């Protein structure tokens, strides 16, 4: 089976927890072997100076842990954010998402989810659709 790689390149908006819940449901409906090939990458940043962002990041980590998804979900922070974030925010399964890594993930992923509501089209869909990126 090929790797199912879901990639979210966005701020950690309030809809992201639904994606984590979906992955938890998927885990219940496919075999362990199939699920071992699934990876949800939550890529992009949150501002560690913004209390709401910090709290939501914690909520996402709690959901991932409570659903038993720590092996299946990877948090990728924007460059510079990991340096400013606390140790508890950057613990297990967190890496820094530099531009080269972002490009590689975009080219390898099977799904890109862009979640901001009521916003303009944005740079993320353009990056994903560009054959030159």
The answer to whether 124 and 10 are in contact (CB under 8 A) is: yes
Query: Which pLDDT tens digit goes with each residue over 46-69?
Result: 667 778 877 888 888 899 999 999
**HSE of 36, CA atoms in CB hemisphere, 13 A:** 4
Query: Which pLDDT tens digit goes with each residue over 63-118?
Result: 999 999 998 988 887 665 544 444 444 455 677 777 788 778 777 777 777 766 77
Query: Which pLDDT tens digit goes with each residue over 25-44?
Result: 999 999 999 998 888 888 76
Domain 4-111: give its CATH code. 3.40.50
């Amino acid at each position: 089976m090929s790797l199912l790689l879901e990639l979210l390149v966005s701020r950690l908006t309030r809809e992201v927890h639904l994606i984590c819940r979906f992955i938890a449901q998927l885990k219940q409906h496919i075999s362990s072997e199939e699920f071992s090939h699934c990876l949800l990458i939550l890529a992009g940043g949150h501002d560690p100076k913004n209390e709401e962002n910090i709290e939501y990041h914690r909520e996402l980590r709690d959901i991932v842990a409570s659903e038993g998804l720590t092996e299946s979900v990877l948090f990728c922070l924007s460059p510079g954010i990991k340096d400013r974030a606390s140790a508890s925010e950057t613990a297990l399964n967190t890496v820094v998402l530099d531009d080269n890594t972002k490009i590689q993930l975009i080219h390898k992923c099977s799904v890109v989810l862009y979640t901001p509501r009521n916003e303009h089209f944005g740079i993320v869909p353009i990056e994903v659709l560009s054959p030159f990126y």
